[in-house]
A and B are shown apart, each in its own frame.
Chain A
Amino acid sequence: EAGVAQSPRYKIIEKRQSVAFWCNPISGHATLYWYQQILGQGPKLLIQFQNNGVVDDSQLPKDRFSAERLKGVDSTLKIQPAKLEDSAVYLCASSLIPTYEQYFGPGTRLTVT
Chain B
Amino acid sequence: GNSVTQMEGPVTLSEEAFLTINCTYTATGYPSLFWYVQYPGEGLQLLLKATKADDKGSNKGFEATYRKETTSFHLEKGSVQVSDSAVYFCALSGGGGTSYGKLTFGQGTILTVHP
Contacts and interface: CB of A to CB of B under 8 A. Distances in A.
Interface in A67-106: 91, 93, 95, 97-99, 101-102, 104-106
Contacts, number: 58
A102 B46 contact: yes
B105 interface: yes
Contacts of A44: 105
Interface in B57-115: 89, 91, 93-94, 98-108
A91 B107 CA distance: 15
Contacts of A97: 101
Interface residues of A, number: 26
Contacts of B98: 56
Interface string A27-52: 00001010100001111110010000
Given A41-B108, A42-B91, A42-B108, A91 B44 contact: yes
Nearest to B1: A58
Contacts of A20: none
B107 A56 contact: no
Interface centre among A33, A45, A97, A101 (most CB of B within 10 A): A45
Nearest 8 A/B pairs, CB to CB: A42-B105, A98-B101, A98-B100, A104-B44, A56-B99, A104-B43, A106-B43, A45-B102
Interface of A: 3-4, 31, 33, 35, 40-45, 48, 55-56, 91, 93, 95, 97-99, 101-102, 104-107
26 contacts: A3-B43, A31-B101, A33-B103, A40-B107, A41-B107, A41-B108, A42-B105, A42-B108, A43-B44, A43-B89, A45-B103, A45-B104, A48-B99, A48-B102, A55-B101, A56-B99, A56-B102, A98-B100, A98-B101, A101-B46, A102-B46, A102-B101, A102-B103, A104-B45, A105-B43, A106-B42
